């Protein structure tokens, strides 16, 4: 006789806060931008502020007789892809992952109810959770490396200039993304808004864009440079570090996906080293199809008159009226 699964998954309520706070001390962040800027894994209070469904953040808890597992995901309005933000506790090697599978499936269901078509996560390739997510039907869309540079290191003066994007730059930025980001990655790649990040122009054309996220634990950069300006990559990255004042106080992290690996030499020249290797994993969510509502045939027939009379022509009416007058 098999072991009965007693797991129950639901949205977090006030009574779950003590459990969530305790579990958050050993959790894992599956969003590299949050991980390296907010350091949520080492600060349970950061997780506490994300418990409520604000900014599209939703928290679920799986309870069983053996353990509790908490999962968080974030979904933006009208965005096709939701993002797994946090799972606690971290899964140990060889541990039964039943509860983790339950919370992963529940997050996919809830994200689908809120209009998302996909659910993505950035997972350490060597973590036991990587195998569990493969079992939960997550596919590897890309691999990426996180490069780190300590704040005490100095960089040489940059020979290029960067500026904040304006309205007229958006078309060029979107064209740049379309040229360098593989089509498979388009649904899970966030496009910038006006005023976000830094733009590199060459001969009045947008040839580079660097996304910038600043937090108390670090600065997170996501460079997108056209391969035609690969020789300018060290200067562009150095200019970004010099322009962001916080880079002198906290570590700087740069996300480089496999299709951008030609940036590795530029990062090494600037004193960066590989800090983490991750897989970008995506689960496709089956979209619900509403059943069409058809009225019963008898209702339709009742609206049709029993006797259909042919129309009378104007000439027939005129003849009839003339006979009556006689």
Task: Please provide the distance, in angstroms rounded to a whole number, between the alpha carbons at the two ends of the chain.
Answer: 101
What is the domain partition of the chain in residue ranges?
Answer: 1-137, 145-276
Which region holds residue 50: left if phi is over 0, alpha if psi is between -120 and 50, else beta? alpha
User: Residue 256 class from Cβ within 10 Å (0-12 exposed, 13-18 middle, 19+ buried)?
Assistant: buried
pLDDT of residue 291: 47
How distant is the alpha carbon of residue 84 from its chain centre? 8
3-class DSSP state of 211:
strand
Q: Write down the CATH number for the domain with range 145-276.
A: 3.40.630.30
Q: Is 149:280 a contact under the CB 8 Å cutoff?
A: no
Q: What is the CATH number of domain 1-137?
A: 3.40.630.30
**Which two structure tokens, joined as six digits, stand for 253?**
């992290």
Q: What confidence score (pLDDT) does residue 56 get?
A: 79
Q: What dihedral do alpha carbons 263, 264, 270, 271 form, nearest 10°?
A: 160
What is the distance, to the nearest Å, from the Cα of residue 58 to the centroid of all Cα atoms in its chain? 13
Six-digit token string for 198:
């830094």
As beta bridge partners, residue 137 has: none
Cα gap 296→302, rounded to integer Å: 10
Predicted confidence at residue 16, as pLDDT, reads 83
Total residue length of the chain: 326
d(C-alpha 281, C-alpha 142), whole Å = 7
Low-confidence ranges of the chain (pLDDT < 50): 1-2, 41-46, 48, 50, 288-292, 294, 308, 315, 318-319
Sign of the torsion formed by the C-alpha atoms of 89, 93, 98 and 100: positive
Quote the pLDDT of residue 203: 87
Residue 322: what pLDDT? 52
| Measured distance CA(43)–CA(215) in Å, rounded | 14
Structure-token pair, residue 238: 């150095």
Rounded to an integer, what distance in angstroms lies between the CA atom of residue 177 and that of residue 180?
5
Element (DSSP H or E) covering residue 219: strand 219-225
Would you state the pLDDT for residue 1?
44
Furthest-apart CA atoms within the chain: distance in Å: 117
* CA atoms within a 13 Å half-sphere pointing along the CA-CB vector of 163: 12
Query: CA dihedral defined by 33, 38, 40, 42, rounded to 10 degrees?
Result: 120
What is the DSSP secondary structure assignment for residue 254, as one 8-state letter? E
Task: Provide the β-strand partners of residue 81.
Answer: 118
Counting residues of the chain whose pLDDT is more than 70, the rounded percentage is 79
């Amino acid at each position: 006789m098999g072991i009965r699964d007693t797991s129950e998954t639901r949205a977090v309520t006030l009574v779950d806060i003590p459990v969530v706070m305790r579990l958050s001390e050993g959790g894992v962040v599956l969003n590299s931008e949050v991980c390296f800027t907010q350091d949520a894994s080492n600060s349970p209070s950061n997780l506490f502020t994300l418990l409520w469904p604000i900014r599209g953040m939703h928290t679920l808890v799986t309870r069983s007789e053996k353990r509790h597992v908490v999962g968080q995901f974030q979904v933006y309005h009208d965005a096709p892809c939701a993002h797994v933000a946090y799972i606690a506790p971290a899964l140990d090697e060889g541990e039964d992952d039943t509860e983790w599978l339950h919370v992963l499936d529940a997050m996919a269901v809830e994200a689908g109810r809120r209009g998302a078509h996909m659910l993505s996560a950035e997972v350490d390739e060597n973590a036991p959770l990587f195998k569990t997510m493969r079992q939960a039907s997550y596919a590897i869309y890309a691999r990426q490396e996180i490069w780190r540079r300590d704040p005490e290191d100095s960089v040489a003066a940059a020979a290029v200039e960067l500026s904040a994007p304006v309205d007229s730059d958006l078309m060029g930025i979107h064209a740049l993304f379309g040229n360098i980001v593989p089509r498979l990655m388009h649904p899970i790649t966030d496009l910038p808004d006006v005023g976000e990040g830094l733009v590199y122009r060459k001969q009045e054309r947008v040839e580079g864009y660097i996304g910038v996220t600043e937090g108390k634990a670090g600065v997170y950069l996501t460079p997108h440079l056209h391969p035609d300006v690969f020789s300018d990559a060290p200067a562009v990255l150095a200019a970004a570090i010099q322009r962001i004042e916080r880079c002198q106080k906290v570590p700087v992290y740069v996300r480089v996906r496999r299709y951008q690996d030609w940036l590795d030499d530029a990062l090494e020249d600037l004193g960066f080293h590989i800090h983490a290797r991750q897989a970008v994993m995506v689960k496709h969510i089956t979209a619900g199809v509403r059943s069409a509502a058809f009225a019963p045939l008898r209702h339709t027939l009742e609206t049709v008159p029993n006797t259909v009379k042919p129309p009378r022509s104007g000439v027939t009416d005129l003849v009839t009226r003339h006979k009556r007058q006689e």
